[in-house]
Amino acid sequence: MKLHPIHLTDFYKVGHIQQYPAKTTKIYSNLTPRGGPYSGMDYTVVFGIQYFILEYLMKQFDEDFFSVNKAKVVSRYKRRLDNALGEDSVGVSHVAALWDLGYLPLLIKALPEGTRCDHRVPMLTITNTHADFSWLVNYLETLLSTSLWLPMTSASTADKYRQLLDKYAIQTTGTTDGVDFQAHDFSMRGLPGVEAASMSGAGHLLSFLGTDTIPAIDFLENYYGADSDSEIIGMSVPATEHSVMCLRGKDNEIETFRELIEDVYPKGIVSIVSDSWDYWKVITEFLPQLKDKILARDGKVVIRPDSGDPVKIICGDYESDDSAIAQGTIQCLWDTFGGTDNEQGYKVLNPHIGLIYGDSITYDRADEILSNLEAAGFASSNIVFGVGSFTYQMVTRDTHGFAVKATYGIVDGEHREIFKDPKTDNGLKRSAKGLLRVEHDGSIKDQCTSEEEQGGLLQTVFLDSEIKNITTLSEIRERLNGS
Protein backbone atom coordinates (compact mmCIF):
# COMPACT_ATOMS: atom_id res chain seq x y z
CA MET A 1 0.00 0.00 0.00
CA LYS A 2 1.50 3.28 -1.16
CA LEU A 3 1.40 5.95 1.55
CA HIS A 4 3.34 9.11 2.29
CA PRO A 5 5.72 8.56 5.22
CA ILE A 6 5.28 12.06 6.66
CA HIS A 7 1.57 11.22 6.99
CA LEU A 8 2.19 8.06 9.01
CA THR A 9 1.23 9.49 12.39
CA ASP A 10 -1.80 10.47 14.47
CA PHE A 11 -3.46 13.82 13.86
CA TYR A 12 -2.80 14.87 17.45
CA LYS A 13 0.95 14.58 16.84
CA VAL A 14 1.11 17.19 14.10
CA GLY A 15 0.37 20.12 16.42
CA HIS A 16 2.95 19.31 19.06
CA ILE A 17 5.56 21.45 17.32
CA GLN A 18 3.44 24.45 18.36
CA GLN A 19 2.83 23.10 21.85
CA TYR A 20 6.42 22.50 22.96
CA PRO A 21 8.04 25.43 24.79
CA ALA A 22 9.71 27.98 22.57
CA LYS A 23 13.35 27.22 21.84
CA THR A 24 12.98 23.49 22.46
CA THR A 25 16.05 22.02 20.79
CA LYS A 26 16.06 18.38 21.94
CA ILE A 27 13.60 15.64 22.76
CA TYR A 28 14.84 12.27 23.97
CA SER A 29 12.38 9.38 24.08
CA ASN A 30 12.38 5.65 24.58
CA LEU A 31 10.40 2.54 23.67
CA THR A 32 9.77 0.35 26.70
CA PRO A 33 7.65 -2.77 27.22
CA ARG A 34 6.01 -1.88 30.51
CA GLY A 35 4.55 -5.35 30.99
CA GLY A 36 1.23 -5.94 32.66
CA PRO A 37 -1.12 -8.84 33.31
CA TYR A 38 -1.67 -9.98 29.72
CA SER A 39 1.58 -11.45 28.41
CA GLY A 40 2.25 -14.03 31.10
CA MET A 41 5.92 -13.12 30.71
CA ASP A 42 8.39 -10.84 32.45
CA TYR A 43 10.37 -9.97 29.33
CA THR A 44 9.91 -9.12 25.65
CA VAL A 45 12.02 -10.31 22.72
CA VAL A 46 13.54 -7.41 20.75
CA PHE A 47 12.74 -7.81 17.07
CA GLY A 48 11.72 -5.70 14.06
CA ILE A 49 13.80 -2.58 14.56
CA GLN A 50 16.01 -3.18 11.52
CA TYR A 51 12.89 -3.73 9.42
CA PHE A 52 11.43 -0.44 10.68
CA ILE A 53 14.61 1.42 9.83
CA LEU A 54 15.17 -0.10 6.39
CA GLU A 55 11.57 0.04 5.25
CA TYR A 56 10.30 3.31 6.69
CA LEU A 57 13.13 5.59 7.83
CA MET A 58 15.24 4.81 4.78
CA LYS A 59 13.28 3.37 1.83
CA GLN A 60 9.96 5.14 2.20
CA PHE A 61 11.33 8.49 3.37
CA ASP A 62 13.84 8.41 0.51
CA GLU A 63 11.41 7.36 -2.23
CA ASP A 64 8.27 9.17 -1.10
CA PHE A 65 9.57 12.25 0.68
CA PHE A 66 13.12 13.38 -0.04
CA SER A 67 13.06 12.21 -3.68
CA VAL A 68 9.70 13.82 -4.41
CA ASN A 69 9.38 17.42 -5.58
CA LYS A 70 9.39 19.72 -2.55
CA ALA A 71 6.28 21.64 -3.60
CA LYS A 72 4.37 18.39 -4.03
CA VAL A 73 5.43 17.08 -0.62
CA VAL A 74 4.45 20.30 1.10
CA SER A 75 1.18 20.78 -0.77
CA ARG A 76 -0.14 17.29 -0.11
CA TYR A 77 0.81 17.60 3.59
CA LYS A 78 -0.97 20.93 3.78
CA ARG A 79 -4.03 19.52 2.01
CA ARG A 80 -4.28 16.60 4.41
CA LEU A 81 -4.02 18.79 7.52
CA ASP A 82 -6.15 21.66 6.25
CA ASN A 83 -8.99 19.33 5.26
CA ALA A 84 -9.02 17.59 8.62
CA LEU A 85 -7.99 20.28 11.11
CA GLY A 86 -8.77 23.56 9.43
CA GLU A 87 -6.83 25.79 7.12
CA ASP A 88 -3.33 26.68 8.31
CA SER A 89 -4.02 25.16 11.73
CA VAL A 90 -0.53 23.68 11.91
CA GLY A 91 1.62 25.13 9.19
CA VAL A 92 4.09 23.39 6.91
CA SER A 93 7.37 25.27 7.24
CA HIS A 94 8.91 22.55 9.45
CA VAL A 95 8.13 19.88 6.85
CA ALA A 96 9.64 22.06 4.12
CA ALA A 97 12.72 22.55 6.32
CA LEU A 98 13.08 18.79 6.78
CA TRP A 99 12.92 18.29 3.00
CA ASP A 100 15.59 20.98 2.58
CA LEU A 101 17.80 19.21 5.13
CA GLY A 102 17.69 16.09 2.98
CA TYR A 103 17.89 13.44 5.72
CA LEU A 104 16.26 12.39 8.99
CA PRO A 105 18.30 14.02 11.78
CA LEU A 106 17.82 11.23 14.30
CA LEU A 107 19.92 9.02 16.55
CA ILE A 108 18.35 5.69 17.47
CA LYS A 109 20.00 3.30 19.88
CA ALA A 110 18.63 -0.14 20.64
CA LEU A 111 19.31 -3.45 22.31
CA PRO A 112 20.57 -6.11 19.87
CA GLU A 113 17.68 -7.91 18.20
CA GLY A 114 17.03 -11.29 19.76
CA THR A 115 17.69 -9.89 23.26
CA ARG A 116 15.21 -10.77 25.99
CA CYS A 117 14.44 -7.34 27.41
CA ASP A 118 13.03 -7.29 30.93
CA HIS A 119 9.79 -5.39 31.31
CA ARG A 120 10.18 -1.74 32.32
CA VAL A 121 13.61 -1.62 30.69
CA PRO A 122 13.97 0.55 27.54
CA MET A 123 14.82 -1.45 24.42
CA LEU A 124 15.23 1.64 22.21
CA THR A 125 15.95 5.34 22.56
CA ILE A 126 15.47 8.04 19.93
CA THR A 127 16.56 11.67 19.85
CA ASN A 128 17.18 14.41 17.31
CA THR A 129 20.68 15.33 16.14
CA HIS A 130 19.75 18.77 14.79
CA ALA A 131 18.36 21.46 17.08
CA ASP A 132 15.64 22.52 14.62
CA PHE A 133 13.98 19.11 14.51
CA SER A 134 13.16 18.12 18.07
CA TRP A 135 9.51 17.92 16.92
CA LEU A 136 10.37 14.92 14.73
CA VAL A 137 11.21 12.57 17.62
CA ASN A 138 7.75 11.99 19.08
CA TYR A 139 6.12 12.71 15.74
CA LEU A 140 7.42 9.26 14.80
CA GLU A 141 6.02 7.58 17.92
CA THR A 142 2.94 6.22 16.15
CA LEU A 143 4.91 4.77 13.25
CA LEU A 144 7.50 3.33 15.62
CA SER A 145 4.86 1.71 17.80
CA THR A 146 2.67 0.29 15.05
CA SER A 147 5.72 -1.13 13.27
CA LEU A 148 7.27 -2.85 16.29
CA TRP A 149 4.74 -4.06 18.83
CA LEU A 150 3.47 -6.95 16.69
CA PRO A 151 6.78 -8.52 15.57
CA MET A 152 8.10 -8.20 19.11
CA THR A 153 4.94 -9.68 20.63
CA SER A 154 4.94 -12.61 18.20
CA ALA A 155 8.66 -13.22 18.71
CA SER A 156 8.05 -13.26 22.46
CA THR A 157 5.07 -15.60 22.16
CA ALA A 158 7.08 -17.98 19.97
CA ASP A 159 9.91 -17.93 22.51
CA LYS A 160 7.42 -18.79 25.24
CA TYR A 161 6.15 -21.76 23.20
CA ARG A 162 9.73 -22.80 22.52
CA GLN A 163 10.58 -22.91 26.19
CA LEU A 164 7.44 -24.96 26.91
CA LEU A 165 8.17 -27.46 24.15
CA ASP A 166 11.84 -27.70 25.11
CA LYS A 167 10.86 -28.45 28.71
CA TYR A 168 8.57 -31.34 27.80
CA ALA A 169 11.00 -32.62 25.18
CA ILE A 170 13.81 -32.85 27.72
CA GLN A 171 11.51 -34.52 30.25
CA THR A 172 10.07 -37.12 27.88
CA THR A 173 12.72 -37.62 25.19
CA GLY A 174 15.99 -36.40 26.70
CA THR A 175 16.67 -34.09 23.76
CA THR A 176 15.24 -31.05 22.00
CA ASP A 177 15.84 -32.59 18.56
CA GLY A 178 12.69 -32.02 16.54
CA VAL A 179 11.37 -29.08 18.56
CA ASP A 180 12.37 -26.74 15.71
CA PHE A 181 9.40 -28.16 13.80
CA GLN A 182 7.00 -28.81 16.68
CA ALA A 183 5.21 -25.46 16.41
CA HIS A 184 4.15 -24.67 12.85
CA ASP A 185 2.89 -21.19 11.92
CA PHE A 186 -0.69 -21.40 10.57
CA SER A 187 -1.59 -17.78 11.30
CA MET A 188 -1.39 -15.81 8.04
CA ARG A 189 -5.08 -15.93 7.10
CA GLY A 190 -6.05 -14.70 10.55
CA LEU A 191 -3.70 -11.71 10.73
CA PRO A 192 -4.85 -8.20 9.73
CA GLY A 193 -3.14 -7.99 6.35
CA VAL A 194 -0.04 -9.20 4.56
CA GLU A 195 2.40 -6.88 6.34
CA ALA A 196 1.14 -7.97 9.77
CA ALA A 197 1.35 -11.63 8.75
CA SER A 198 4.91 -11.13 7.48
CA MET A 199 6.06 -9.35 10.65
CA SER A 200 4.38 -11.83 12.97
CA GLY A 201 5.45 -14.85 10.93
CA ALA A 202 9.05 -13.66 10.99
CA GLY A 203 8.85 -13.41 14.77
CA HIS A 204 7.72 -17.05 14.87
CA LEU A 205 10.72 -18.08 12.78
CA LEU A 206 13.18 -16.80 15.36
CA SER A 207 12.27 -19.81 17.51
CA PHE A 208 10.95 -22.39 15.03
CA LEU A 209 11.54 -23.56 11.46
CA GLY A 210 8.03 -24.73 10.58
CA THR A 211 5.77 -22.26 8.78
CA ASP A 212 3.08 -21.95 6.15
CA THR A 213 3.51 -18.15 6.00
CA ILE A 214 5.55 -17.73 2.82
CA PRO A 215 5.99 -13.92 3.03
CA ALA A 216 7.63 -14.30 6.45
CA ILE A 217 10.56 -15.89 4.64
CA ASP A 218 10.63 -13.01 2.13
CA PHE A 219 10.58 -10.58 5.08
CA LEU A 220 13.66 -12.18 6.65
CA GLU A 221 15.52 -12.24 3.34
CA ASN A 222 14.63 -8.61 2.58
CA TYR A 223 15.41 -7.10 5.98
CA TYR A 224 17.62 -9.53 7.91
CA GLY A 225 20.20 -10.87 5.49
CA ALA A 226 18.74 -14.37 5.39
CA ASP A 227 19.24 -16.61 2.35
CA SER A 228 17.10 -19.70 1.86
CA ASP A 229 19.69 -21.09 -0.60
CA SER A 230 22.27 -21.40 2.15
CA GLU A 231 20.26 -21.71 5.39
CA ILE A 232 16.92 -22.93 6.63
CA ILE A 233 14.65 -19.96 7.17
CA GLY A 234 11.33 -21.80 7.20
CA MET A 235 10.03 -25.10 5.88
CA SER A 236 6.72 -26.84 5.31
CA VAL A 237 5.26 -30.09 3.97
CA PRO A 238 2.54 -31.08 1.48
CA ALA A 239 -0.85 -30.86 3.15
CA THR A 240 -4.49 -31.24 2.16
CA GLU A 241 -7.55 -29.14 2.93
CA HIS A 242 -11.25 -29.94 3.06
CA SER A 243 -11.78 -29.14 -0.63
CA VAL A 244 -9.31 -31.92 -1.47
CA MET A 245 -10.84 -34.39 0.95
CA CYS A 246 -14.46 -33.64 0.04
CA LEU A 247 -14.31 -33.33 -3.75
CA ARG A 248 -14.37 -37.07 -4.40
CA GLY A 249 -17.35 -37.48 -2.08
CA LYS A 250 -17.96 -38.87 1.38
CA ASP A 251 -18.26 -42.46 0.17
CA ASN A 252 -14.79 -42.27 -1.42
CA GLU A 253 -12.95 -40.74 1.53
CA ILE A 254 -10.80 -43.79 2.20
CA GLU A 255 -9.87 -43.88 -1.49
CA THR A 256 -8.79 -40.26 -1.21
CA PHE A 257 -6.47 -41.27 1.64
CA ARG A 258 -5.17 -44.22 -0.35
CA GLU A 259 -4.52 -42.15 -3.48
CA LEU A 260 -2.71 -39.47 -1.49
CA ILE A 261 -0.35 -41.83 0.30
CA GLU A 262 0.27 -44.21 -2.62
CA ASP A 263 0.05 -42.17 -5.81
CA VAL A 264 0.38 -38.46 -5.08
CA TYR A 265 2.92 -38.69 -2.24
CA PRO A 266 4.46 -42.18 -2.25
CA LYS A 267 7.28 -40.95 0.00
CA GLY A 268 8.05 -38.13 2.38
CA ILE A 269 5.75 -36.35 4.82
CA VAL A 270 2.14 -35.61 3.90
CA SER A 271 -0.39 -33.99 6.24
CA ILE A 272 -4.01 -35.06 5.72
CA VAL A 273 -6.97 -33.22 7.22
CA SER A 274 -9.17 -35.98 8.61
CA ASP A 275 -12.38 -34.59 10.10
CA SER A 276 -14.37 -33.64 7.00
CA TRP A 277 -17.07 -36.10 8.07
CA ASP A 278 -16.37 -38.70 10.75
CA TYR A 279 -12.97 -38.24 12.32
CA TRP A 280 -13.18 -41.24 14.59
CA LYS A 281 -14.14 -43.46 11.66
CA VAL A 282 -10.93 -42.34 9.97
CA ILE A 283 -8.94 -43.18 13.10
CA THR A 284 -10.55 -46.53 13.95
CA GLU A 285 -11.51 -47.89 10.51
CA PHE A 286 -9.65 -46.22 7.66
CA LEU A 287 -6.19 -46.14 9.23
CA PRO A 288 -6.22 -49.81 10.27
CA GLN A 289 -7.24 -50.70 6.70
CA LEU A 290 -4.40 -48.55 5.34
CA LYS A 291 -1.89 -49.65 7.97
CA ASP A 292 0.26 -51.81 5.69
CA LYS A 293 0.42 -49.12 3.01
CA ILE A 294 1.36 -46.46 5.57
CA LEU A 295 4.06 -48.62 7.14
CA ALA A 296 5.47 -49.47 3.72
CA ARG A 297 5.96 -45.82 2.77
CA ASP A 298 9.32 -44.11 2.98
CA GLY A 299 7.98 -41.23 5.04
CA LYS A 300 5.31 -40.17 7.49
CA VAL A 301 1.54 -39.76 7.17
CA VAL A 302 0.44 -36.98 9.50
CA ILE A 303 -3.19 -36.97 10.59
CA ARG A 304 -4.75 -33.54 11.14
CA PRO A 305 -7.96 -33.14 13.13
CA ASP A 306 -9.44 -29.68 12.59
CA SER A 307 -12.39 -29.34 14.95
CA GLY A 308 -13.49 -30.06 18.48
CA ASP A 309 -11.71 -29.68 21.79
CA PRO A 310 -8.01 -30.21 21.02
CA VAL A 311 -7.22 -31.49 24.50
CA LYS A 312 -9.92 -34.16 24.33
CA ILE A 313 -9.31 -35.02 20.66
CA ILE A 314 -5.60 -35.62 21.29
CA CYS A 315 -5.54 -36.96 24.84
CA GLY A 316 -8.98 -38.48 25.29
CA ASP A 317 -12.36 -37.67 26.78
CA TYR A 318 -12.67 -40.07 29.66
CA GLU A 319 -16.37 -39.31 30.11
CA SER A 320 -17.22 -40.69 26.66
CA ASP A 321 -18.77 -44.13 26.24
CA ASP A 322 -16.98 -44.49 22.90
CA SER A 323 -13.67 -46.22 23.55
CA ALA A 324 -11.78 -44.36 20.79
CA ILE A 325 -13.00 -40.94 21.95
CA ALA A 326 -12.25 -41.88 25.54
CA GLN A 327 -8.68 -42.90 24.68
CA GLY A 328 -7.90 -40.01 22.33
CA THR A 329 -6.03 -39.93 19.05
CA ILE A 330 -2.50 -40.62 20.28
CA GLN A 331 -3.51 -43.77 22.13
CA CYS A 332 -5.55 -44.94 19.12
CA LEU A 333 -2.59 -44.43 16.79
CA TRP A 334 -0.41 -46.35 19.23
CA ASP A 335 -2.92 -49.21 19.31
CA THR A 336 -2.89 -49.39 15.50
CA PHE A 337 0.71 -48.63 14.58
CA GLY A 338 2.65 -49.24 17.75
CA GLY A 339 6.04 -47.70 18.34
CA THR A 340 8.89 -47.85 20.82
CA ASP A 341 9.65 -46.94 24.41
CA ASN A 342 12.49 -44.43 24.57
CA GLU A 343 15.27 -44.32 27.17
CA GLN A 344 13.17 -42.04 29.35
CA GLY A 345 10.41 -44.65 29.42
CA TYR A 346 7.92 -42.80 27.23
CA LYS A 347 6.11 -44.15 24.20
CA VAL A 348 7.09 -42.83 20.77
CA LEU A 349 4.78 -43.57 17.84
CA ASN A 350 5.99 -45.51 14.83
CA PRO A 351 7.82 -42.93 12.65
CA HIS A 352 5.48 -43.64 9.72
CA ILE A 353 2.52 -42.00 11.50
CA GLY A 354 2.08 -38.66 13.23
CA LEU A 355 -0.39 -36.04 14.41
CA ILE A 356 -0.68 -32.28 13.99
CA TYR A 357 -3.41 -30.16 15.58
CA GLY A 358 -3.84 -26.61 14.35
CA ASP A 359 -7.29 -25.42 15.43
CA SER A 360 -7.59 -22.97 18.37
CA ILE A 361 -4.24 -23.83 19.90
CA THR A 362 -3.12 -21.58 22.73
CA TYR A 363 -0.13 -21.76 25.03
CA ASP A 364 -2.28 -23.00 27.90
CA ARG A 365 -3.91 -25.69 25.75
CA ALA A 366 -0.53 -26.80 24.46
CA ASP A 367 0.70 -27.05 28.05
CA GLU A 368 -2.35 -29.09 29.07
CA ILE A 369 -1.99 -31.42 26.09
CA LEU A 370 1.70 -32.04 26.74
CA SER A 371 1.06 -32.57 30.44
CA ASN A 372 -1.72 -35.08 29.73
CA LEU A 373 0.42 -36.95 27.21
CA GLU A 374 3.26 -37.16 29.70
CA ALA A 375 0.88 -38.49 32.37
CA ALA A 376 -0.33 -41.12 29.89
CA GLY A 377 3.24 -42.20 29.19
CA PHE A 378 3.66 -40.60 25.77
CA ALA A 379 6.62 -38.48 24.66
CA SER A 380 5.92 -34.89 23.69
CA SER A 381 7.42 -35.55 20.26
CA ASN A 382 4.23 -37.38 19.25
CA ILE A 383 2.41 -34.10 18.59
CA VAL A 384 3.02 -31.07 16.40
CA PHE A 385 1.03 -27.89 17.02
CA GLY A 386 -0.26 -25.68 14.25
CA VAL A 387 -0.02 -22.29 15.93
CA GLY A 388 -2.43 -19.90 14.26
CA SER A 389 -4.16 -16.59 14.72
CA PHE A 390 -5.78 -17.83 17.94
CA THR A 391 -2.29 -17.37 19.36
CA TYR A 392 -0.74 -14.63 17.21
CA GLN A 393 -3.77 -12.39 16.62
CA MET A 394 -5.39 -12.46 20.07
CA VAL A 395 -2.93 -9.81 21.27
CA THR A 396 -2.63 -6.01 21.33
CA ARG A 397 0.00 -3.37 21.98
CA ASP A 398 -0.97 -3.70 25.63
CA THR A 399 -0.09 -7.40 25.82
CA HIS A 400 3.47 -6.32 26.64
CA GLY A 401 2.52 -2.73 27.50
CA PHE A 402 4.57 -1.03 24.79
CA ALA A 403 4.95 2.72 25.25
CA VAL A 404 7.06 5.48 23.75
CA LYS A 405 7.73 8.26 26.27
CA ALA A 406 9.95 11.32 26.36
CA THR A 407 12.23 11.46 29.41
CA TYR A 408 14.57 14.31 28.57
CA GLY A 409 14.67 17.58 26.68
CA ILE A 410 16.57 20.80 26.22
CA VAL A 411 14.73 24.14 26.21
CA ASP A 412 16.67 27.35 25.57
CA GLY A 413 19.85 25.62 26.70
CA GLU A 414 18.29 24.24 29.91
CA HIS A 415 18.50 20.46 30.36
CA ARG A 416 15.24 19.10 31.68
CA GLU A 417 14.33 15.65 32.95
CA ILE A 418 10.84 14.60 31.93
CA PHE A 419 8.72 11.97 33.66
CA LYS A 420 5.13 10.96 34.39
CA ASP A 421 3.74 9.28 37.51
CA PRO A 422 -0.08 9.38 37.47
CA LYS A 423 -1.71 9.13 40.90
CA THR A 424 -4.67 7.37 39.29
CA ASP A 425 -2.38 4.59 38.00
CA ASN A 426 -1.11 1.49 39.77
CA GLY A 427 2.48 2.25 38.85
CA LEU A 428 2.45 0.64 35.43
CA LYS A 429 2.57 3.99 33.63
CA ARG A 430 5.27 5.54 35.80
CA SER A 431 8.09 6.51 33.47
CA ALA A 432 11.85 6.71 33.83
CA LYS A 433 13.54 10.10 34.13
CA GLY A 434 16.22 11.81 32.08
CA LEU A 435 18.85 10.13 29.94
CA LEU A 436 18.80 6.35 30.07
CA ARG A 437 21.25 3.49 30.03
CA VAL A 438 20.74 -0.28 29.98
CA GLU A 439 23.37 -1.91 32.16
CA HIS A 440 25.18 -5.11 31.22
CA ASP A 441 23.01 -7.05 33.66
CA GLY A 442 19.94 -5.89 31.72
CA SER A 443 18.73 -3.39 34.32
CA ILE A 444 17.91 0.25 33.69
CA LYS A 445 19.78 3.27 34.97
CA ASP A 446 17.97 6.57 34.50
CA GLN A 447 18.92 10.18 35.27
CA CYS A 448 22.25 9.52 33.58
CA THR A 449 24.89 12.07 32.71
CA SER A 450 25.64 12.46 29.00
CA GLU A 451 28.81 10.45 29.53
CA GLU A 452 26.98 7.63 31.33
CA GLU A 453 24.36 7.46 28.59
CA GLN A 454 27.07 6.63 26.06
CA GLY A 455 27.78 3.26 27.66
CA GLY A 456 25.70 0.20 28.36
CA LEU A 457 23.96 -2.25 26.03
CA LEU A 458 22.09 0.18 23.81
CA GLN A 459 23.96 0.48 20.52
CA THR A 460 23.54 2.92 17.66
CA VAL A 461 21.37 1.46 14.89
CA PHE A 462 20.41 4.63 13.00
CA LEU A 463 22.18 7.95 12.61
CA ASP A 464 21.16 10.73 10.22
CA SER A 465 19.45 8.44 7.68
CA GLU A 466 22.16 5.78 7.80
CA ILE A 467 21.72 2.32 9.32
CA LYS A 468 24.35 1.08 11.74
CA ASN A 469 25.21 -2.28 13.33
CA ILE A 470 23.27 -4.40 10.85
CA THR A 471 22.28 -7.81 12.19
CA THR A 472 21.21 -11.04 10.50
CA LEU A 473 18.64 -13.72 11.14
CA SER A 474 21.34 -16.22 12.06
CA GLU A 475 22.81 -13.80 14.61
CA ILE A 476 19.39 -13.12 16.11
CA ARG A 477 18.62 -16.84 16.40
CA GLU A 478 21.96 -17.46 18.05
CA ARG A 479 21.39 -14.58 20.46
CA LEU A 480 17.94 -15.83 21.38
CA ASN A 481 18.37 -19.58 21.33
CA GLY A 482 22.03 -19.86 22.15
CA SER A 483 21.70 -18.10 25.49
Tens-of-pLDDT digits for all 483 residues of the chain?
779 999 999 999 999 999 999 999 999 999 999 998 888 999 999 999 999 999 999 999 999 999 999 999 999 999 999 999 999 999 999 999 999 999 999 999 999 999 999 999 999 999 999 999 999 999 999 999 999 999 999 999 999 999 999 999 999 999 999 999 999 999 999 999 999 999 999 999 999 999 999 999 999 999 999 999 999 999 999 999 999 999 999 999 999 999 999 999 999 999 999 999 999 999 999 999 999 999 999 999 999 998 999 999 999 999 999 999 999 999 999 999 999 999 999 999 999 999 999 988 999 999 999 999 999 999 999 999 999 999 999 999 999 999 999 999 999 999 999 987 777 867 677 789 999 999 999 999 999 999 999 999 999 999 999 999 999 999 999 999 885
- How high is the pLDDT of residue 45? 98
Same fold, 5-151+400-481 and 153-392: no
- Find out whether 82 and 88 touch, Cβ atoms under 8 Å: yes
Query: Where do the structural domains in the chain lie, given as residue ranges?
Result: 5-151+400-481, 153-392
Residue 202, C-beta contacts closer than 8 angstroms, at least 6 positions apart: 47, 48, 51, 151, 154, 155, 216, 219, 220, 224
The most distant pair of C-alpha atoms in the chain lies apart, rounded to whole Å, by 84
- How high is the pLDDT of residue 425? 66
Q: E strands, 186-256, where?
A: none
CATH code linked to domain 153-392: 3.20.20.70
Question: Which candidate, 60, 66, 59, 91, places its Cα nearest to that of 77?
Answer: 91
From residue 145, give the alpha-carbon distance in Å to each of 10, 52, 126, 136, 358: 11, 10, 13, 15, 30
CA distance 124 to 126: 7
470 three-state secondary structure: coil
Q: What is the DSSP pairing of strand 270-273 with strand 106-110?
A: unpaired
Number of other CB atoms surrounding residue 196 within 10 Å: 19
- The pTM score is 0.96
CA distance 437 to 480: 21
- How high is the pLDDT of residue 424? 82
Which CATH architecture group holds 5-151+400-481?
A: Alpha-Beta Barrel (3.20)
- Find out whether 156 and 65 touch, Cβ atoms under 8 Å: no
Question: Which candidate, 1, 312, 33, 290, places its Cα nearest to that of 150?
Answer: 33
Residue 121, C-beta contacts closer than 8 angstroms, at least 6 positions apart: 32, 33, 438, 442, 443, 444
Q: Which amino acid is at 48?
A: G
